[in-house]
A and B are shown apart, each in its own frame.
Chain A
Amino acid sequence: MIKINSKNVDVFYGKKQALFNINLDIEENQVTALIGPSGCGKSTFLRCLNRMNDVIDICKVQGQIIINNFDINDKSCDVVRLREKIGMVFQKPNPFPKTIYENVSYGPTIHGMAQSKSEMDEIVETSLKKAALWEEIKDRLHEPGTGLSGGQQQRLCIARAISVKPEVILMDEPCSALDPIATAQIEELIDELKKDHTIIIVTHSMAQAARVSQNTGFFHLGELIEHGSTDKIFKNPENKRTQDYITGRFG
């Protein structure tokens, strides 16, 4: 089933056009990987999906992005509600400089998802368990989240993102700052999370895209060159540029 449907998306940074006419459908409860060389616009596209580009003054987004039959670029769309539905994990782990508990409870608190302390405790516990972090930190929930290791911090950020039960999770190179062991843990986690969430992941690692995703889109110079099932993109790409990129001939 299609979860996100983008039609003719153009993005401009001032006068410079960063994305050209992107048409990409995202399958529900699957992992979609966006690959491509640096500066090709894959992160820009990811940030269109939860309107994080709003933060940048000079950035302008055109076209339609339809989630649950609703165009999120429409004026009537409330960004706060949208971002509750679409969580995001960033390249560098960015836990709040607060305790682990406060990090996870922040989202549910501002969205009023828990009526009582025990309800909140439960949300925090489930989220941390789903992020495969609970066992490691259950005894130090009230210690600062910034004191964890890089991999643990990133899983804390994932726990924070899933605490509000988003339908979609956007991941912007979530493993690029992590070592291979932490990366493997996150990848395993992604595989687990796709049961409940639709996941879109931007990655520089072709191997990672091949390991975790079911669908792949290849971006180049602001255009979506090719997209389809990961199997097909990696084994039998239609476009020559895609083939060159995944075989490491450029990029």
Chain B
Amino acid sequence: MNKNKEKLLNSRYRAEKRFQFYGKSAIFLALLFLTIFIFKIFSTGYTAFQKTWLVIPVTFDAETLYLDENPSIEDIEDADYFDIALKSMFDLDKNASEKQQNDLKKMVSYFFEREIKKELLNDPSLIGKTKDVYLTASDDLDQVFKGNYPRDLPENQRRVTDFQLKIFDQLVEQGRVESKFNLSFFTYPDSREAELAGIASSFMGSIFSILVCLVIAFPVAVLAAIYLEEFAPKNKFTDFIEVNINNLAAVPSIVFGLLGLGILLAVFQLPRSTPLVGGITLSLMTLPTIIIACRASLKAVPPSIREAALAMGASRMQTTMHHTVPLSMPGTLSGTIIGLAQALGETAPLILIGMVAFVNTIPGSPLDPAASLPVQIYIWAESAERGFVEKVSACIMVLLGFLILMNLFAQIIRHKFEKKWS
């Protein structure tokens, strides 16, 4: 009898130990995957925050600029910089053939004209003088400088020619290649050229979409939840509504995209590819999430608080607004943030309503065409150029950073509320 008991006890201890082991391994596995994921993204992405510049001597020759003597600022503004820009590049190898000259031109971005113009506009006294100007290196040379480019491939299998590499190595030796913080990644809109592509348009697109989504989804969802939880009679009809809200939360997001396409764009003729339509579509998706979170946190408010308020002679409305809703706010807010974070990472519905279009302007309002961060990741991941690989990871980093910030914000709000109420 006693022996049996001991056996039973031992097997119980073993079972607990086994269970703890399973739990620990599960956590270890999850952390391992997370670490690999983050490491992979950081190791591919961190180089995108650096940008390679070629420091090229430019002679601001009035004749090549087709400028008269003592030109006004307007003249400088209107001057033709193409020839002077080309000449600066061609001067890197004066014996270059026509094909090689073309290679020389392709060593910098097509913004090189603009970059030279900006230099002169900043300092018009440069006319007739020579100055080292920072020109954005082409994306391939950028990758070469960062060590991401397979230089040992046969020449016909890579986009960088041997001649370009030769000149580039010379420039590196002369200290004419510099790496600086890539501000344009944050300030430039999308571009077909990897060296000029930035996240400004998609970042603003995401912000506007999320704002539209928040402005629509939050009040509607909270009002619906409060009504359903505190005021609506409990009958078959409200049960039916509840079941449908739960179903809505499980509907694949692409279906909402179809809804946006079919109704917002086709019937209401709202402008395509805009954060307004994107935000409305996302708000449909976020609505059930917020409703469910808000109802759950309303339910979690102890009934004794409601009874206390009612017994004091508070009306149902006062009971709800003075006591139940404020107490449920932390839960509602964190549910909202979770819903918005979901919406922020949503790609499929936005592709359907046209936010996948190539947008090379920065949207100034929700009515301007825009992309969004996850769609930007999708677009770049599809691009063939090597320069986009690091941009994809960098964009993911920005998106993750954004999400972490949002969660932090939610935590702070929660903390503040809870401090106040307990």
Instruction: Please report A residues at the B interface, Cβ cutoff 8 Å.
Output: 50, 52, 55, 57, 79-84, 87-88, 90, 92, 94-98, 106-107, 110-111, 144, 146, 157, 160-161, 164
Contacts and interface: CB of A to CB of B under 8 A. Distances in A.
Contacts of A79: 313
Given A52-B307, A161-B312, 7 more contacts: A52-B311, A57-B234, A83-B312, A97-B422, A110-B314, A110-B318, A160-B308
Residues of B in contact with A, size category: 20 to 34
Interface in B296-318: 302, 304-315, 318
Contacts of B322: 106, 110
Given A90-B307, A96-B308, A80 B313 contact: yes
15 contacts: A55-B306, A80-B313, A83-B312, A83-B313, A87-B312, A90-B304, A90-B311, A96-B308, A97-B421, A106-B312, A106-B322, A110-B314, A111-B313, A146-B422, A160-B308
A84 B233 CA distance: 25
B222 interface: no
Given A90-B304, A94-B307, A97-B327, A144 B422 contact: yes
Given A57-B234, A90-B304, A94-B304, A83 B311 contact: yes
Contacts of A164: 312-313
Most buried by B among A52, A87, A97, A111: A97
Contacts of A87: 311-312
A228 B125 CA distance: 110
A114 to B, nearest CB: 15
Nearest to A85: B313
Nearest to A58: B234
Most buried by A among B308, B311, B422: B311
B215 to A, nearest CB: 30
A27 to B, nearest CB: 22
Contacts of B327: 97
B234 to A, nearest CB: 6
Contacts of A90: 304, 307-308, 311
Contact of A83 (B233, B305, B310, B323): B310
A63 B71 CA distance: 102
A94 B318 contact: no
Nearest to A54: B310
A96 B422 CA distance: 10
A97 B234 CA distance: 28
A111 B323 CA distance: 16
Given A57-B233, A146-B422, A94 B312 contact: no
Most buried by B among A81, A92, A107, A157: A107
Contact of B312 (A55, A57, A144, A160): A160
Interface in B319-341: 322-323, 327
B302 A110 contact: no
B153 to A, nearest CB: 68
A161 B313 CA distance: 10
A83 B318 CA distance: 14
A52 B310 contact: yes
Contacts of B306: 55
Contacts of B313: 79-84, 107, 110-111, 164
Contacts of A98: 421
Contacts of B234: 57
B305 A110 contact: no
A57 B316 CA distance: 14
A161 B308 CA distance: 9
A67 B282 CA distance: 56
A177 to B, nearest CB: 11
Contacts of B233: 57
